[in-house]
Structure 1
Amino acid sequence: MPDAHLPDAPINPSRLKAMMEQVSTFGGKPNGAMTRLTLSKTDGQARDWLGSWFKEHRFEQQIDPIGNQFGKLSLAGDNAPTVMVGSHLDSQPNGGRFDGALGVVSACEAVLAVAERMEAEGRLAACNFQVVNWTNEEGARFQPSLLGSSVFAGAIELDWALDRADGDGMTVRQSLAEIGYAGTAVVERPDALIELHIEGDDKLFAASERFGIFTRFWGATKYRLAFLGEQAHTGPTPMAQRKDALLAAAYLMADLRQLANDHGLDLHTSVGRLEVHPNSPN
């Protein structure tokens, strides 16, 4: 029978560091920044690296239709619960190299450490494990964010997600096929999900703490708005007759910022992206 009172299985810090350095070569920059947009060539390389790691350590890899990448290790038998651990390998443009990737790499190391401990002591674990790398968690290339995990959770439809297009008109469906990650596996939902993630702020550091546990999170409402103006030459067109769409957008952006000022910590606002057409100075 599984023993729930075993001492902790220590991880191998050197192995964890080496793994982090390896995955950081895909899209990493000399200043430590990371540009690994989802389903790009560099994301495909990082996925290939993770798949090779799964194979080397006897994890069973599965790819579902939205491209979520899973590595399963059965340590407790068919009827045991499954704990999913992981995060994402895609990044923001010039994002941090630990953002998301640390959650995937640390999941690999933690599960491997448990497996080694169980094998050394000839014991079964209390559960099976599944490492996950979610598709388009950041939402930098395709919108909305959390695309792969939302499909997995049943929050959005698969075909709708596959039809999302980037700024160049390339869809998720096409991008998955291009890098070889258009999967077909049906992966069951786990009994529990754990994600280790770096802090996006400095509060833990300032408090000399290393770990924090989430008790709540921000609820986000996202909008795509179109401001329809009228193209006119800036020289001869009188100011009173101009219909400047970008000016209208700027007014709303300033108003949103004022809302945050009025409500303090209860409200966060941001405008993260503008698409201006025809985008000519004159």
Structure 2
Amino acid sequence: MNPMAYFLISIFLLTASHAGMLDFLTLKQAKEAYEKGDYNRSAKLYEEVAKEGSQEALLDAADARYKAGDYKGALARYQRVDKPSLAFEKWHNMGNCYAHLGKIDKGIAAYKKALKIKEDKDTRFNLELLEKLKRQQQRKQNRQKKNDQKKSGQKGRKQNQNQNQNRQQSSNEQQSRQGDQKKQQQQKKNQASKQGDEKKNRNLKEKRQKKGQNGEAKKEGAQKKPKEQKANAKASRQALKQGKEQKNVPISDMELKKWNRELNRRGINTLLLPLQTKESEKRSPDETKPW
């Protein structure tokens, strides 16, 4: 054998044995940390070994994460395990992670896959427990749905009732407004009628007053007419009297001479009393003599 080849093989064997020794020590430390409850340190140590391709170390790292309460981290690591001999443990533990995360349907599906690989009482118990929990949730959801529907119905009835009340109130308000409008219109109509009656009464009163004034004027005229007639008659009598007095007024000497000439011209010789004149009144009675 070539000395150089022998040297390289020796180096490889030494390195492999050294790596194996290191992995063994790391796995031992990871197990001790797990047993002490230091799950985070244990998970990190297992993950260092898993980097070398160990599926068992990856499964143990996921278990440590699960114990630490990191269910999402554990689930992510379980999903990376693809070794057939580890399938049962993978699906059983994945069911546990789903159950803690509240994903009941996925948990049930994971447990069923584990039971298809092999029957296990713990896996069966967990499956039945999740199925029971699912039924309880369904009943709770149904009750909640019924309550919601009932509340919705009550709310709808209340809304309808409120709407009816609002419509009734609106109708009452509208009727009230219409009543007020009719009342106002009736008041205006009554007021207009009253004003019309007052105007009619005023006109009638004015007509009566005017008629009364005309009647009084006629009465006064009728009363005044006899008075005027009396006054006129009196004036006529006074005028007649004055005329008579005027007739008895003595004529002048010139008028007397005129009368005498007229008498002489006619040739009528009658005894006449001499007409008195203003000048003869001044004479004494002895101065008069017949013709």
TM above 0.5, yes or no, is no
Q: Which has the larger radius of gyration?
A: 2
Give the TM bin, normalised by the shorter chain.
under 0.3
Higher strand content, 1 or 2:
1
Taking CA–CA contacts closer than 8 Å with sequence separation of 6 or more, which of the two structures ends up with the larger relative contact order?
A: 1
The TM-score, its normalising length taken from structure 1, stands at 0.19
The TM-score, its normalising length taken from structure 2, stands at 0.19
Higher helix content, 1 or 2:
2
